[in-house]
Structure 1
């Protein structure tokens, strides 16, 4: 039978059914609805008290302090992380070893233990001396007057976080092909121009997702600064209020709502940053070509369907 006589009917695709997925989804919705209904009527949650303290001035001020701790600690951690990442990639073995020991210490000990040490720094180092070592100092300051609990908390959080940011930045830099740097040098670009215009824009696609997770983790880690001790952040403040009211559960819910609010905002920002630096990744060339624009030399053009045989 000639090929022209064969009827070309469109293929009717039948969607594969997954009935157990629908059953599982219905069960999940039922469990979620039961939990919400039960929580709404359970006296222990004390929702009127939650509404009373949700926008209390003490709680809102503590939420702002938590944001300040997060932002300042992350700024310092990112700067130190970039420096440590460059040191880790240095060909100098001394510089690399110093960076490795720093990461080993701060990643190998719990952040709570580190914060306790920073709270005791005024006992370990009672004064801060400026001058030539082993000589009479030019100026001397008491440590507890220079560094208050807030800044000790920032220092403790940022030094711990910088060890993790260093590995994130190093992974992003190593993800960029070595030929990119060699091509930039061949074009006469300086090291700074190469990093700013070639390496970092490509590395950010790898750096942003884990760095965004670290920012969210830092927001929650601020609840540990009570070890310094510093008690003006969100969790410690709500805990102090619950000690006055003898009703801790509603205040825990209040703190959780504020944490969820900040985390949601950070997640939205992370999404747009990932979208911004991930442009053009994974797209097919045909999708980026304008309508009517001819295909490239390597494009494969399918023949037009016809009634006769393909030559």
Structure 2
């Protein structure tokens, strides 16, 4: 097999694994980030304490260390995760902690008069949060969440260190066989650039569709 055939096959396989990793971690981290952000504001004393502790821990843990804990550390507790799922759990935990900050800030930025208006027309607290607060908070926090998603795409390469056969792992394997680092790693860099560009454009269009009047960003 020639270099270019091996190059194409291995990078294709690695890219597929990376996309599978992101297809799991992106939606789940967003959902968990929104949930944690809401708990920090509306969770009461116990709920907000748990949510704040969660954010304190996983914002302070490096992602690579968290991956190592999920893959190697949990074995001591009798829990054995495959490398792919250990990486997924670690990325979701760390990323959702950061995303919850954007959600919390978005909730607190909403004018209190809207809550009073919701109560005035007979909405319960639950209805107020569900129909008035959450839709606006998601829209307002979307630029910050988008930025975090772009970091997730890049940081997914750390999964290589616990044995996930993603695109960076494919590049390392190729280089160990063919010793052509310039071509291999530059190609991988452009693949990551392509993925982040597509994600950025997609979220920008979503942001434009969902933008709240009065909260437009200056470009």
Confirm or deny a common fold (TM above 0.5): yes
Q: Contact between 2:139 and 2:211, CA under 8 Å: does it hold in 1?
A: yes
Deviations 1:101-129 (A, max 9, x none): 21111111211111111121343212xxx
Partner of 2:30 in structure 1? 78
Change (3 A) 1:245 1:54: closer
Question: 2-side partners of 1:96 and 1:267: how far apart?
Answer: 32
User: Any stretches of 5+ residues in structure 2 without a counterpart?
Assistant: none
Matching of residue 249 in structure 1 with residue 201 in structure 2 = no
Deviations 1:61-96 (A, max 9, x none): 211211221221122212221221122113632322
Deviations 1:159-200 (A, max 9, x none): 111110111111111111111122112222344543343223
Which of 69, 73, 89 pairs up with 2:21? 69
Using CA pairs under 8 Å that are at least 6 residues apart, name the structure with larger relative contact order, 1 or 2: 2
Q: Larger Rg: 1 or 2? A: 1
Question: 1-side partners of 2:41 and 2:212: how far apart?
Answer: 28
Change (3 A) 1:58 1:281: same
Q: Contact between 2:140 and 2:211, CA under 8 Å: does it hold in 1?
A: no
Q: Contact between 1:153 and 1:230, CA under 8 Å: does it hold in 2?
A: no
Question: 2-side partners of 1:192 and 1:67: how far apart?
Answer: 36
Number of residues paired by the alignment?
A: 214
Question: 1-side partners of 2:66 and 2:178: how far apart?
Answer: 32
Partner of 2:154 in structure 1? 220
Question: 1-side partners of 2:176 and 2:54: how far apart?
Answer: 39
Q: Contact between 1:85 and 1:167, CA under 8 Å: does it hold in 2?
A: yes
Aligned pairs (5 A) from 1:1-311: 52=4, 56-90=8-42, 92-126=44-78, 143-144=79-80, 147-227=81-161, 229-278=162-211, 280-281=213-214
The TM-score with structure 2 as length reference comes to 0.88
Q: Contact between 2:160 and 2:168, CA under 8 Å: does it hold in 1?
A: no
Q: Contact between 2:71 and 2:82, CA under 8 Å: does it hold in 1?
A: no
Q: Secondary structure at the match of 1:82?
A: helix
Question: 1-side partners of 2:197 and 2:208: how far apart?
Answer: 17
